[in-house]
Amino acid sequence: MMFVFTPLLLNALRHSLALGSERQVALIGSADASGMFVGAIAAMLTVPTRDRRMLAVVGLGMLVLADLGSLAASDFGVLQYLCRVAAGAGAGFAMGVSYAAFAAAAQPERSFALFGMLQTAIGSAAILCLAPLMPRHGPAALYCASLLFGVSGLALTWLIDRRPPLASLAAVAAEQAGRRHRAISVTWLGPLTGITFFGFGLTANAIWANIESIGTAFGLSNIDASDALSFSLIGSVAGSLLVIVTGNRWGRLLPSGLIAVAYLAGIALLLAPNGVGGFLVAVTAFQFGTNMGSHCFGAISEADPIGRLSIIYLLSLKAGFAAGPLAASWALRGNGYQGLVETCLVAAFLVCALLCTTLVTAVRATKFPPRLDSYPPVVPRSR
């Protein structure tokens, strides 16, 4: 949820008298995503072989404690930054459990799209509720919201299957039988997935983190820009619904290409938004395009059913989210928001080309899956 809240957070930090520079704003604004990167690394190492319910409790408990620390911190110095990094680490660790579960689903892109739709819908409602509180309470309002979401997640952890992905006989057999297959898929798909979604996360968060400021730079009022952001999240929900309804009916390359075109068009329209309506169209197309990773997630999940590649996806995406505000602050030096949008548009073209390459590679990796019937069943060692 902190990704959805990033524009509000950066805007609140910029208006705080305690902050002295754009670099400090970007540093605290990217702290949650930086922590998620660390949490995702820990999840990649532990989720395949550990009790998933226990891991989710640990991650969400860390998030709750860090949010309490953020609310207790009196300024926006080192303590606040460390609390936000810790909150992100707990959230990223818990999200690793979810992504591994999505990878094991019958149609992983549908599960992933449903997650994205719920996140965006709840985020849109949260923004509408929090916007009136921000002028008075500042970032503390967002930290309270994060705390409430963390507590809600803890209340739902009893629904999580305790068994790790490697606990089932089929998964253990696949782990042994598919060594060559996995070596090919991880060797090629691992770096491709990492580079693709690092670039996607970087461009997406560089734009999204500054989207409200981009609107005001082109003459919109803060209220109009904030309202446009809230309504633009409908585009993300529409993209998620498209993935949920169609699934793999038309393959993965064609729908991913159409969603990528919307993503590029949304960024391009931000170069010269024509009033509130033009700005709304631009950010709605941009939000629709943020779903272009759904089908790719499904493809890499089939290539590696254990879930390692899906966590690499999470890892790369959060690394890009963390780098986004910092890269934007660098691009903003002397260039204004016009230069930022132009730089992100060029980077987005490269990301879309990498996305197509990743999808094609995933199809080739799963074209000749390993045969499991020639291997005896393997019983996992009892704990």
What mean pLDDT comes out for the span 206-233?
Answer: 75
pLDDT reported for residue 74: 65
**Domain membership of residue 257 as a residue range:** 2-365
Q: Is residue 321 part of a domain?
A: yes
What's the total number of domains in the chain?
A: 1
Give percent of the chain with pLDDT exceeding 90. 5
* 29-33, 220-224, 312-316: range with lowest mean pLDDT: 220-224
Q: Is residue 55 part of a domain?
A: yes
Residue 54, pLDDT > 80, answer: yes
Q: Which two tokens stand for residue 225?
A: 């820009």
Q: Is residue 159 part of a domain?
A: yes
* CATH code at position 170: 1.20.1250.20
Q: Is residue 240 part of a domain?
A: yes
| Helices 2-14 + 108-130 axis angle, to 10 | 30
Q: Is residue 257 part of a domain?
A: yes
Dump pLDDT digits (tens) for 134-143: 777 777 888 8
Q: Is residue 377 part of a domain?
A: no
Please list the residues that pair with 249 across neighbouring strands: 251
Please list the residues that pair with 251 across neighbouring strands: 249
Q: Which residue has the higher pLDDT, 314 or 353?
A: 353
Q: Is residue 152 part of a domain?
A: yes
pLDDT reported for residue 166: 54
Nearest to 150 by CA among 209, 86, 74: 86
Q: Is residue 134 part of a domain?
A: yes
Q: What is the mean pLDDT of the chain?
A: 76
Return the SS3 of 379.
coil
Print burial letters for 336-353: b (CB count within 10 Å at least 16), e (below 16): ebeebbbbbbebbeebbe
pLDDT reported for residue 99: 80
Dump pLDDT digits (tens) for 116-171: 778 777 877 887 788 778 777 777 888 888 899 899 999 998 888 776 655 554 55
* Winning range, highest mean pLDDT, from 33-42, 151-160, 333-342: 151-160
